[in-house]
Structure 1
Amino acid sequence: MAYQKILDLLGDSAPYLLQHQSKTFSKDLLHAPSPDFLDKVFVESNRNPQVLRSLAAIRNHGRLSGTGYLSILPVDQGIEHTAGASFAKNPLYFDPENIVRLAIEGGSNAVATTFGNLGMVARKYAHKIPFIVKINHNELLTYPTKYNQIMFGSVKEAWNLGAAAIGATIYFGSEESGRQLIEVAEAFEEAHQLGMATILWCYTRNNAFKKDGVNYETAADITGQANHLGVTIQADIIKQKMPESNGGFTTLNFSKSDPLMYSQLSSDHPIDLCRYQVANCYMGRAGLINSGGESKGTGDLANSVRNAVINKRAGGSGLILGRRAFQRPFAEGVEFLQTIQDVYLAKEIDLA
């Protein structure tokens, strides 16, 4: 029944997405999600036993426990987009306990939110669901608006409130990206020393990346390189927007590229564009989770199922979506999260 619901939501695009066979990077080259993913990949890494335990806590929780796939509820929009704009549709979430409750009842692997949110309910919930503390943010009270991620607390503070992981954003391509890269790399090193996992919101941000009506901030080649920078500073998991185009380097005429990137290592198929992102995460050794994006109403569920199918068949590790779940009634939010998880539980949906 769950698989039929997925087919219904995919509609006419089902054959296009479910029957595609990628001819770019062979699936045999990928470190695909699996129940023994940590043993295959991270046991041989420099991550210490405490980090392995934290990664296992995240991967072995919720409805996707033991599958190798991840469903994470991220709610940092109260800072990133203002609390009023984010929670007006559902004022329930001005209370951070309801954010954690949604993650638990929705069957998420973990909840990712702010120091304040998790600190307020830490003693009640830190042992019930893995915490991911988002340690930096772009605040929107500076006028005129600037886009700059700044630290909101310390790594030690995240550890003290029981976090299994920290999350941070770097705006690659922005004026402040150099400072952010240094700050986050240092934070990730400290987090690993303390036994926490690391997740990078690996975004690109530059108005010059937009040309002729196309936003190349989500181009496969540019986001792929951002991913490669993210795994270089030892992010265990990469959060990235779903690719919507390609050829950013060549169209904008900057950085370096090779024609093979576009002729052989990718195509215009969304699964191949996403696979290029996975390849830049050390062929999947660092799991790629694609973000859900803003809520646009009735089409959110179908669009998120489509993204989940693309991510899974490309070799990704899951979706991380928030607004599309919490900007609707609580019970609907739970059902929304579980429908996306059903994509990763469906054995009929395999690697392309």
Structure 2
Amino acid sequence: MLHYTIDELLGKEAEDLLEYTATAIPKEQLHLPGPDFIDRIFQQSNRPVPVLRSLATLFNHGRLAGTGYLSILPIDQGIEHTAGASFAPNPMYFDPENVIRLAMEGGCNAVATTFGNLGMVARKYAHKIPFIVKINHNELLTYPTKYSQIMFGSVEEAWNLGAVAVGATIYFGSEDSNRQIVEVAEAFERAHQLGMATILWCYTRNNAFKTAEKDYHVAADITGQANHLGVTLQADIIKQKLPENNGGFKALNFSKWSPAMYDKLTTDHPIDLCRYQVLNCYMGRAGLINSGGESQGASDLQQSVRTAVINKRAGGTGLILGRRAFQRPFEEGVDLLNLVQDVYIDETITVA
């Protein structure tokens, strides 16, 4: 077991992150997570009754059951980053059963992985932990490398596997984004018809978004707009990278922006930047889960807890953390997942 306090892991940022009061958009304007989140938000929506049941299955499993928060283990890197590169630190995860075991023993709400992984063990585990099928991927065997999400299976097959939700990625800003938007919109419509919830990886991808000075792929304004497009496609939950800067529209001189976006709707504080992402998820009606990111080794615990604190205090719905958990020994991965979940369980860590 890990023996760290949240304060110790946050270090010199502890006071700033734990005591900060948001000054741009007050928390009272948000639709915040809670035990009654589905009743408050989705009961009045157009989602079919079976979708409400699937959402309830997601929100009422694992260590965070009944809190309104989510801890999801995503392992699709075998395709997105090649299996060898992803699983070399811990080859046990070439076996999909260990993917499911990590999610279960780690107390996660659900496991998000590929058709192949879930299909191989579906009859053993579909009734033991909620399945999220990642239905599209960026394959890495085309040379030169390109970044284009393509469908790896059908929504019907995800339903046949016993999934309660489907997940998909759109690379907003890429040359292929229009095709991906149409494909995902159709897939999400079908998923809702079949009673499954929908989760969208709202990633931005364009070489022009990265300059010599900054990487605006993680700018609050650009990622926030990606989130807004995602909820327009009727994603129930939005997955997004934690914002690291802002002002991408201004710096790159594209799209449309208002000075009020930067002067009134947010500040440079990391909690306010993340809150701008929540703002673009219909004020929190669609839950924002931030991604854990790649493993950096020794700093993984600190960075994961930092992301969780920012997400929770901004009004987000949880964390979707993969590589930092599975690219380390099994028990250490379980401990890391539990430590992140502790942030959402801790009632003293409140919305800013």
3-state DSSP of counterpart to 2:33? coil
Q: CA RMSD in A?
A: 1.1
> Could you tell me which residue of structure 1 aligns to residue 176 of structure 2?
176
Structure 2 partner of 1:239: 239
Amino acid at match of 1:194: L
TM-score (norm 2): 0.99
Q: Name the aligned partner's letter for residue 288 of structure 1.
A: L
Residue of structure 2 equivalent to 1:63: 63
* Alpha-carbon distance in 2 for matches of 1:163, 1:131: 5
Look up the match of 2:187. 187
Can you give the 5+ residue segments of structure 1 that lack an aligned partner in the other structure? none
Structure 1 segment 340-351 matched on structure 2, within 5 A: 340-351=340-351
**Contact kept? 2:171, 2:177, Cα under 8 Å:** yes
Aligned to 2:196: 196
- In structure 2, what residue type is equivalent to 1:211? T
Structure 2 unaligned regions, length at least 5: none
Question: Aligned runs of 1:5-84 on 2, under 5 Å?
Answer: 5-84=5-84
- What do residues 67-117 of structure 1 show as CA deviations (whole Å, max 9, x unaligned)? 000000000000000000000000000000000000000000000000000
2:220–2:243 CA contact under 8 A, matched in 1? yes
For residue 39 of structure 2, give the secondary structure of its aligned residue in structure 1: helix
Matches within 5 A, 1:127-276: 127-276=127-276
Q: What corresponds to 2:289 in structure 1?
A: 289
Separation in structure 2 between the aligned mates of residue 4 and residue 277 of structure 1, nearest angstrom: 29
Q: Give structure 1 regions of 4+ aligned residues with deviation exceeding 3 angstroms.
A: 1-4
Q: In the aligned structure 2, how far is the partner of 1:51 from the partner of 1:344?
A: 24
| Secondary structure of residue in 2 paired with 1:289 | strand
- What is residue 331 of structure 1 aligned with on the other side? 331
Q: Do 1:3 and 1:346's aligned partners in 2 also have CA atoms closer than 8 Å?
A: no
* Deviation at residue 213 of structure 1 after TM alignment: 2.7
Deviation per residue, 1:217-238 (Å, 9 max, x gap): 1100000000000000100000
In structure 1, distance between residues paired with 2:12 and 2:26? 26
For the residues of structure 2 that align with 1:10 and 1:258, how far apart are their CA atoms? 34
8 Å CA contact 1:3–1:342 kept in 2: the answer is no
Separation of aligned partners in 2, 1:2 and 1:16: 24
Inter-partner Cα distance in structure 1 for 2:143 and 2:124 = 37
Q: Hey, what's the Cα distance between the residues in 1 that align with 2:4 and 2:17?
A: 15
CA distance in 1 between counterparts of 2:133 and 2:199 reads 10
**CA deviation string 1:126-175 (max 9, x = no partner):** 00000000000000000000000000000000000100000000000000
Q: Is 2:171–2:204's contact at 8 Å kept on the other side of the alignment?
A: yes
The residue aligned with 1:103 is 103
Conserved in 1, the CA contact under 8 Å of 2:219 and 2:244? yes
Cα 1:2–1:37 shift into 2, 3 Å:
farther
Per the alignment, in what secondary structure is the counterpart of residue 199 of structure 1? Answer: strand
Identity of aligned residues (%): 75
Match of 1:121 in 2: 121
Give the Cα–Cα distance (whole angstroms) in 2 for the partners of residues 2 and 30 of structure 1.
34
CA–CA separation in structure 2 for the residues paired with 1:335 and 1:6: 14
How many Å apart are 1:3 and its aligned residue? 10
- CA–CA distance in structure 2, aligned partners of residues 4 and 163 of structure 1: 35
Q: Distance in 1 between matches of 2:95 and 2:351?
A: 39
Q: Cα deviation per residue 1:239-297 (whole Å; 9 max; x = unaligned)? A: 00000000000000000010010011111100000000000000000000000000010
Please state how far the C-alpha of 1:212 moved relative to its aligned partner: 2.7
Q: How far apart are 1:2 and its partner, in Å?
A: 9.4
1:185 shift after superposition:
0.3
Q: Structure 1: which amino acid aligns with 2:77?
A: Q
Aligned residues: 352
Deviation at 1:4, TM superposition (A): 6.5
How far is the alpha carbon of 1:11 from its aligned partner? Answer: 1.1
Asked if structure 1 preserves the Cα contact closer than 8 Å seen for 2:2 and 2:335, the reply is: no
Give the secondary-structure state (helix, strand or coil) at the position aligned to 1:166: strand
Report SS of the residue matched to 1:277.
helix
Deviations 1:12-64 (A, max 9, x none): 11001011110111100100000000000000000011000000000000000
Q: Take 1:244 and 1:13, find their aligned partners in 2: how far apart are those partners?
A: 15
Cα distance in structure 1, aligned partners of 2:172 and 2:10: 33
**TM-score (normalizing by structure 1):** 0.99
Q: Distance in 1 between matches of 2:218 and 2:294?
A: 14
2 CA distance for matches of 1:236 and 1:207? 29
1:55 counterpart letter in structure 2: L
- 1:215 Cα offset (Å): 0.6
